[in-house]
Structure 1
Amino acid sequence: MSNLSDALLYINGEMRPASDNKYFDNTNPWTGESCGKAADATAADVEEAIACARKTFDETDWATSHDERYAKVCKFVEVMLANREKLVEISRLEAGAAIGAAARAQIDGALNGAKDLLVCYKEVKWELDRGVKNEMGFDTKRIVQHEAMGVVGAITPWNVPLYVNVGKVVAALLAGCTVILKPAPDTPLMGSIMGELAIEAGLPAGVFNVITSSDPAMAGEMLTTDPRVDLISFTGSTAVGKLIMKNGAESLKRVFLELGGKSAYIVLDDAPEFARVVMSSMVVFHAGQGCAYPTRLLVPKSRYEESVKMLEMAYAGFADKWGNFEEPTCIMGPVISKKQMDRVLSYIETGKQEGARLLAGGNARPDKGTGYFIEPTCFVDVSNDMRIAQEEIFGPVLVVIPYEDDADAVRIANDSIYGLGGAVFGSTERALAVAKQVRAGALSVNGGMSITGDLPFGGYKQSGMGREWGVEGIEEFLEVKAIGIRVS
């Protein structure tokens, strides 16, 4: 495996090291060893990025020159598309993506989403004519205007870094905001590379800035507490999302949060191709490191034993199909870090202690390499009150829960603090009726795509607030102004 280039800071249009010239290791999850270095930003670097983004928003026409801004963001997306292979390599070495995952959600999903946002931009209405109304004895012409929110702090996770970076950065730039991107310490280069591509695309200096840091909190604390930052767009854990809300309260900062999930995969007893659907529920894609990934399989009690046997076959058949760095069809590699591996393994132990039956997996796999490998794991005989059914594990762990009837399936699906995604399989009308009762932001019926770049994505309950992607995702970065003009 080759090494990656250094991840530098991108501030005011320039790539540069940290002000004290310090770096931290960028670790390859496949090997557990360094695959490059990343600039370790100081508080002074973060301060400079905030000041630069503020000045650029306040003193240039970036927010108001809609056509020119759109053309520049189009060029930015074009350059990202042209660098697809470089982005795939970064996702493989930095995020631990297997080739099959890198070529799908990791990179192509992000790039296709960027193209979708360019199309969605055309649907944004910058000014609406609300007509003339006679009030207080005279006529007033009314206009509703949409304006860029201001300076955006975008704080992104390590699981699908380019996808989330693009969803925030491209949407905010299209809206006319200036942006400071703070990628996760585990995936610094996928943020930094966007600075390099912004230069290549000719994006104006100051509209987009990138800060990389080994400290998971320092830059985020500064962004979320600084009154010069108007909005925080955060994707990550619910616990950190709550802290961001508290930090932003002092300045009444706008906050968009895309947080955790424990999504349900509901298979009704009349699902076409019942066996295939059940077997497809295995949590293996990118080692289960996805916030909207359905990790609770709900199957009817009348077909429970049948489902368990199918899963046993599915996991046995997958045993040699994961953890291969060179295999083009491989979709599951390691988890991101030693810390995450320990977390997932601790949940597996919890599941055993809670009385769930381990059907498959459950072990670390050092024979796969020196990185952070955990077997695809499945628990059956799970009740929804167990911790492994209620808490987000963020690893390759599926829990299987039986239900009595459709109403019981809905009850179990909704018995969660989360409400991000989910899937329902069955005869179309019946499955749609169940999906409409599940309190979550994105529901797939019979395999339909509910998460694409032109659809709004976000959660109910403690899965967050606000929406990313689609027209709604651009509008998250806009203020609304009403203007009344007396005409008589």
Structure 2
Amino acid sequence: MTVQSYDSLFINNSWVRPSTKGRLSVINPATESAIATVPEASKEDVDAAVLAARNAFDHGPWPSMTGEQRGDCIKELSQALQQDIPGLAQLITQEMGSPITFSMRSQAFSPIIVLDYYADLARKHAFEVKRPGMVSPVVCRSEPVGVVAAITPWNAPLFTMMLKLAPALAAGCTVVIKPAPETPLDAYRLAEAIEKTSIPPGVVNIIPAGREVGEYLVSHRQVDKVSFTGSVVAGSKIGSICGSQIKRCTLELGGKSAAILLDDVDLTATIPQLLPAALMNNGQACIAQTRVLAPARRYREIVDTLTDAVANLRVGDPLNETTDIGPLFAERQRERVESYIEIGKAEGARVSTGGKRPSHLEKGWYVEPTVFVDVDNSMRIAREEIFGPVVSVIPYDNEENAVAIANDSDYGLSGTVWTRDAEKGLDIARKIRTGTYTVNGMSMDFMSPFGGFKQSGIGRELGQEGLNAYFEYKTINMPADYKI
């Protein structure tokens, strides 16, 4: 598949020459070779994009259009992206290394589902309702928050982009998207799709750039809200900037989720589902179940079964449909993962499989899928987000102890419990302090809120709650004799 380079930025529905000659190179992590370049946006380009979004919000038709009209435009965007889902999946795999089977489902098709959901929700949402007040009738309005800065990561670039863009469009906001500098190509595909729709000029603007320019965008006084997905360190910085400006923000940050295997677990049924839950996207997923909590009575049985299953995973070319584990997205990420493997060994944990670079692959930023056993929850490998194909198996004494270990984390994004008794699983789920949870599986329901407790973030995406995050609410008090 030939990958296209770009020379312009997408601002105000036009392809605009960037203000500098800076370029970003996109590196295929499986080959370590550059596959394309795009312009690197500067602060001047941010100013131009924000001005376009500001004008589109303050003077354009988008905020005042009906929900049905905006829903129709969002549906047009969905249909434009659907014209080449396999090509989109291949592009993202070449950008960041996802196995192609994961890219088809989660990188290319899932954004379509999100768009379709918010297209429908925009049509159904009551943007203005009349209520009886305490003294006189009131009119309550859901009004768009304004210009939104959407800053997205490299691990699920188009999907995380859509978690922000789709509800923002449904609400009537205008958007400036800053994709990660390593994965800008899918954002350009999005821009090309927008050109095929009736979305007015300035409503969506796309400017690939690095961290410094991203911080300038966050700080921009004409931006009303920031929606960010990424690391806790970057999220903390963004949150502090937004706090100082009293600016709205949604932060979806890290995770260190625990999969609790109860004493009655059926390993034959569970392990095939647990592997993708723990190692999805080569372990580069904030919701990955990277801590496996096993009952002490069955610990060795679970360790042996999990170790054998992980050892049999196929590591290789991510474009090959038989590949289970592809490369990490960048050389620096491989170095990070390898450093944590050494930390785990130094802390006294034992590698039961993996822990090295695959010997059969001469190129690519690969690390073997790795299982650590005899892990204590106080170890760094059990507490810090590694963001690679590394799983820690932690023993527990009883269910109360399992819940305590699962909750003993700075994060609270996701989690799972595996048991033959679904009601018992539900009881466990109620006790875990995370934003999403699954009994006997790994799910992310797009019609329901997604987000985290503690350092996993602030606010929610998806569902009605994801739309609400892009509203300001207005109450208009009417005369006592006003008819409702």
* 1:64-463 alignment, distance < 5 Å: 64-66=64-66, 67-134=68-135, 140-213=136-209, 215=210, 217-271=211-265, 273-278=266-271, 280-282=273-275, 283-318=278-313, 321-365=314-358, 367-426=360-419, 427-447=421-441, 449=443, 451-463=444-456
Q: Deviations over 1:121-171 (max 9, x none)?
A: 34422112221433xxxxx21111100000000000000111101111111
CA contact (8 A) 1:41 1:212 kept: yes
Residue type of the partner of 1:162? L
State, as a whole percentage, how many aligned pairs show the same letter.
Answer: 38
- 1:452 and 1:185 map into 2 onto residues whose CA distance is 29
CA contact (8 A) 1:263 1:296 kept: yes
Q: Deviations over 1:157-189 (max 9, x none)?
A: 000111101111111111100000000011011
CA contact (8 A) 1:31 1:369 kept: no
Residue type of the partner of 1:40? E
* Partner SS, residue 187 of structure 2: helix
Q: TM-score, normalised by structure 1?
A: 0.94
Structure 1 pair 419–413 and aligned structure 2 pair: CA distance change class (3 A)? same
- 2:118 and 2:31 map into 1 onto residues whose CA distance is 36
- 2:204 and 2:312 map into 1 onto residues whose CA distance is 46
- 1:362 and 1:155 map into 2 onto residues whose CA distance is 33
Residue type of the partner of 2:171? A
* Partner SS, residue 128 of structure 1: strand
CA contact (8 A) 2:97 2:318 kept: no
Q: How many residues align?
A: 477
- 1:8 and 1:194 map into 2 onto residues whose CA distance is 14
Q: Deviations over 1:323-343 (max 9, x none)?
A: 134422323210100111100
| Greater mean alpha carbon deviation, residues 454-463 or residues 324-333 | 324-333
Residue type of the partner of 2:219? T
CA contact (8 A) 1:70 1:174 kept: yes
- 2:228 and 2:311 map into 1 onto residues whose CA distance is 38
Give the aligned partner of residue 474 of structure 1: 467
- 1:312 and 1:222 map into 2 onto residues whose CA distance is 46
CA contact (8 A) 1:124 1:475 kept: no
How far does residue 5 in structure 1 lie from its aligned partner after superposition?
Answer: 3.4
* Partner SS, residue 26 of structure 1: strand
Residue type of the partner of 2:86? E
How far does residue 92 in structure 1 lie from its aligned partner after superposition?
Answer: 1.4
Q: TM-score, normalised by structure 2?
A: 0.95
How far does residue 76 in structure 1 lie from its aligned partner after superposition?
Answer: 1.0
Residue type of the partner of 2:169? L
How far does residue 416 in structure 1 lie from its aligned partner after superposition?
Answer: 0.3
CA contact (8 A) 1:7 1:188 kept: no
Give the aligned partner of residue 31 of structure 2: 31
- 2:250 and 2:170 map into 1 onto residues whose CA distance is 17
| Greater mean alpha carbon deviation, residues 3-12 or residues 359-368 | 3-12
Structure 1 pair 349–248 and aligned structure 2 pair: CA distance change class (3 A)? same
- 2:307 and 2:214 map into 1 onto residues whose CA distance is 43
| Greater mean alpha carbon deviation, residues 258-267 or residues 223-232 | 223-232
Give the aligned partner of residue 487 of structure 1: 480
- 2:124 and 2:284 map into 1 onto residues whose CA distance is 33
